[in-house]
A and B are shown apart, each in its own frame.
Chain A
Amino acid sequence: MDEHDFQILRIIEENSRLSAEEIATMTTLATAEVRARIRALEEARIIQRYAAAIDWEKAGNGEVAAIIELKVSPERDYGYDRIAERLSRFSQVRTLRLITGTYDLQLVVTGKNMQEVSRFVSEHVAPMDRIRETATHIIMKTYKENGNAFFEQPETERLPFSF
């Protein structure tokens, strides 16, 4: 990893559809080198995948999401890793983190409707061994995610010319 790799990562994190030629022009690297660097970053799983940032609310698929916080008794030798790994296998779990504070694990769970989310929590998550307490927060609106703001910024007026 060097500064060129970081630069390429920043560029494609913002727009992963740029071609190697375009990235090469911007970074003044050779196109072949850009391709080779991206391939190496993919192989090292530093680039995990190429995805779109979608405003699902606007798309109107009717899904709901909730943040679930869990108090967990850690396991000898494994800490939180094994239970986290089990939880992460559920496709309903979109995001899973170990956090500090009152709770230990934080999940973002999605479902077709609220009943589905609450059934998932009460039937699959809460009864798991070592989970001592859960708190469910329904997500009412997402304003910004992964650096991407979901509200329209008004165009600011710029002069056509200035010196």
Chain B
Amino acid sequence: MRDPVSARAKVIPPSGIRRFFDLAMTMEGVISLGVGEPDFSTPWNICESSIYSIEQGATSYTSNRGLQGLRDALSRDLSRRYRLTYNPDTEMIVTTGVSEALDIAIRAVTDPGDEVIVAQPSYVSYAPCVTLAGGVPVPVECREGDRFKLNPDALAEKITKKTKALVINFPNNPTGAVMRREDLEPIADLVTDNDLTLISDEVYSELTYEGQHTATATVGDLWERTITLNGFSKAYAMTGWRIGYLCAPKNICDAALKIHQYVMLCAPAMGQVAALEALRSAEDDKNRMVDEYRLRRNMFVSGLCRIGLSCHVPEGAFYAFPSVKNTGLSDTEFAERLLREQKVAVVPGSVLGEGGQDHLRCAYAVSRKALSEALDRMEIFLSVLK
């Protein structure tokens, strides 16, 4: 029999922490800082409006682009929040999570052999999505010395004649780094001068703890060459609803829409109703959650430093990214032993791409009580190491 598995499917790497996952599932009493999702339930007014819509029978397909009301509300919301202007009828697609938005964005712009630069450390799906689209992912490392921002010189070194696009994610998973307008300006120049497309995953935009989020497409002349990706999962604690969106100039949006209609048809209808309600009425709930994350961040990062793990202060998202360099263990060894010996689950940074090695991703989207217990256990673990 011929090997049924395609070369492309073979070449994409399996999840780097499957082993950890399986181990954690067999253990009792694990405190998990390994989950990239809010610990809050979706605010009830959002759930209730979706339940009501189901009771009313709104259970069918929506238009490919997504509910008109949701796109109209999103367009207004993006303009008010970030001064982003997108036409809800021609420059916006509601997607099944940002995951789908990312996939169709990459496929809409990548031809076989195109190089797509991916700023790392990063969420794990960017590079495999490029590979699946026939492109060649080229990592560029965001260094701790730059507070994990994308350094324009490092980016310039990676640009070749074959470079088609750049994928960035700020506020960043896993580092919590944020790019301010002045940080983005030199990147914008490089992208424009080299005629690249910028894919900007801004799903953590509302989780910005100091000052305001800068939408990438509002910097310089980037709008006409930027695909903005965002979604409801993180800000409104709606991970399971699977609602994201893609915004781009019409020519790119049309291409992405073709892919979307063939592979997804539309985002889940009940999730779209919930997302609309989130925009209408959940601002206070969202702000309360963001305030709570900020308190947890301050508490957790100062705790990490107290127990001897150096950690830059993340300005966004809900991850701390401490270094384990001075412990004598690699990040994978540290994470595995911490799980086995003290039952604290964290993600070893090396699975998150270049620049991730020697770091741990710790999601502080868990209760303060659990965070403080996790810190105690990590302190014991470190004292045993010495």
Contact = CB atoms under 8 A, between A and B. Distances in A.
Interface of A: 7, 10-11, 22, 25-28, 156, 158-163
Contact of A26 (B36, B124, B298, B352): B298
B41 A160 contact: no
Given A7-B291, A10-B291, A160 B298 contact: no
Q: What size tier do the contact residues of chain B reach? A: 20 to 34
A22 B295 CA distance: 10
Contacts of A161: 17, 20-21, 24, 32, 34-35, 345, 347
Given A11-B295, A159-B21, A163-B125, 9 more contacts: A22-B299, A25-B298, A26-B296, A28-B298, A158-B32, A158-B37, A158-B39, A160-B21, A162-B35
A6 to B, nearest CB: 10
Nearest to B297: A26
13 contacts: A10-B291, A27-B298, A158-B35, A159-B21, A159-B35, A160-B30, A160-B32, A161-B20, A161-B24, A161-B35, A161-B345, A163-B124, A163-B125
Interface of B: 15, 17, 20-21, 24-25, 30, 32, 34-37, 39, 41, 123-125, 173, 291, 295-296, 298-299, 302-303, 345, 347, 352, 368
B36 A163 contact: yes
A7 B290 CA distance: 12
A27 B294 CA distance: 8
A7 B303 CA distance: 20
Nearest to A7: B291
* B interface majority secondary structure: mixed
Nearest to A10: B291
Contacts of B125: 163
Nearest to B30: A160
B285 to A, nearest CB: 13
A85 B35 CA distance: 53
B273 to A, nearest CB: 21
A25 B372 CA distance: 12
Nearest to B294: A26
A11 to B, nearest CB: 7
Contacts of B17: 161
Contacts of B299: 22, 25-26
Contacts of A22: 299
A14 to B, nearest CB: 9
Contacts of A162: 34-37
B24 A160 contact: yes
Contacts of A27: 295, 298
Contacts of B39: 158
A25 B299 CA distance: 5
B336 to A, nearest CB: 13
Contacts of A163: 15, 36, 123-125, 173, 347, 352
Contacts of A159: 21, 35
Contacts of A11: 295
Ordered nearest first, which 3 A-B pairs have the shortest CB separation?
A: A160-B24, A26-B295, A161-B34
B103 to A, nearest CB: 15
A160 B295 contact: no
Nearest to A6: B291
Nearest to A22: B299
A25 B20 CA distance: 32
A27 B296 CA distance: 9
B25 A160 contact: yes
Contacts of A28: 298
A28 B298 CA distance: 7
Contacts of B37: 158, 162
Contacts of B20: 160-161
B108 to A, nearest CB: 23
